[in-house]
């Protein structure tokens, strides 16, 4: 049995009860501004990686923030590409209420994105795929809504660093190869690199950044 098969076999099933638990957790977390702040410093490399990874959008286009939280990344994408339409999707309506009105705010699940196929020029997920539970389906959905040639950015935690942070029971971290093999099912190009928060600080292994082109 290959590595990906073993990874997918140990996934948890997204039951109705678990989906309700996750949604309730984030509805309540919206009030916690210390751990779920409404803004992020644009100098942080995660922000820059998203802005660069979804380019070019100078002349317009549509970009999806999947699992947007309060829209803190989406705001910077919109500022970088004012002609683009930035759609911010999240499971928790309390999170979406905190997102700026300039964004297209949509409530929904990464496991069943409420958009037609090939609806977006680019998409990204920053520390949100880890909460999707059924990772195979979530990645397939992100790729489905991309146009041919569309760009995808995923920033999430490295499974080799598991245990460094307290996590909810459903959360999953990823090895580089976990997502690369999934992405290559639907994308013609995919790669991964470690990423830090700050330009003058070397990556410590906690975060990885996957980029792909459909």
Q: Are 53 and 153 in contact (CB under 8 A)?
A: yes
The pLDDT of residue 155 is: 98
d(Cα 206, Cα 174) in Å, to the nearest integer? 10
Average pLDDT (97-126) is 97
Most confident of 10-14, 55-59, 146-150: 146-150
Write the pLDDT tens digit of every residue in 162-190: 999 999 999 999 999 999 999 999 999 99
Domain membership of residue 16 as a residue range: 3-213
The pLDDT, as a whole number, for residue 13 is 82
Average pLDDT over residues 6-11: 53
Give the dihedral of Cα atoms 206, 179, 199, 40; nearest 10 deg: -80
State the total domains in the chain. 1
Query: Could you read off the pLDDT of 187-200 as tens digits, one per residue?
Result: 999 999 999 999 99
For helices 45-53 and 72-80, angle between their N-to-C axes, nearest 10 degrees: 50
Would you call 173 exposed, middle or buried from its count of C-beta atoms within 10 A (0-12, 13-18, 19+)? buried
pLDDT of 25 higher than 90: yes
- 21-45 mean pLDDT: 95
pLDDT at residue 7 above 70? no
Query: What's the mean per-residue pLDDT of the chain?
Result: 94
Does residue 105 sit in helix, strand or coil? strand
- Give the pLDDT band of residue 1 (cuts 50, 70, 90): very low
In this predicted structure, which of 8-12, 77-81, 90-94, 190-194 has the lowest mean pLDDT?
8-12
Kindly tell me if the per-residue pLDDT of 38 is higher than 80. Answer: yes
pLDDT attached to residue 3: 52
The pLDDT assigned to 86 comes to 98
What integer pLDDT is reported at residue 12 of this predicted model? 61
pLDDT tens digits, one per residue of 88-102: 999 999 999 999 999
The CATH number of the domain where 142 resides is what?
3.40.50.150
Q: What is the mean pLDDT of residues 117-125?
A: 98
pLDDT score of 121: 98
């Amino acid at each position: 049995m290959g590595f990906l098969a073993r990874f997918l076999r140990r996934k948890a099933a997204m039951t109705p009860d678990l989906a309700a638990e996750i949604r309730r957790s984030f509805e309540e977390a919206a009030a916690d501004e210390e751990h779920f702040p409404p803004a992020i410093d644009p100098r942080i490399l995660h922000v820059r990686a998203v802005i660069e990874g979804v380019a070019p959008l100078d002349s317009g286009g549509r970009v999806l923030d999947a699992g947007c939280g309060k829209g803190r990344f989406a705001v910077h994408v919109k500022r970088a590409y004012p002609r683009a339409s930035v759609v911010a999707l999240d499971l928790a309506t309390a999170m979406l209420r905190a997102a700026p009105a300039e964004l297209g705010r949509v409530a929904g699940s990464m496991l069943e994105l409420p958009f037609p196929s090939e609806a977006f020029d680019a998409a990204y997920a920053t520390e949100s795929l880890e909460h999707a539970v059924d990772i195979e389906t979530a990645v397939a959905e992100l790729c489905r809504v991309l146009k041919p040639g569309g760009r995808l950015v995923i920033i999430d935690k490295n499974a080799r660093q598991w245990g460094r942070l307290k996590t909810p029971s459903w959360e999953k971290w990823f090895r580089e190869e976990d997502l690369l093999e999934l992405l290559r099912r639907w994308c013609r190009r995919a790669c991964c690199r470690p990423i830090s928060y700050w330009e003058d600080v070397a990556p410590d292994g906690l975060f990885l950044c996957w980029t792909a082109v459909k």
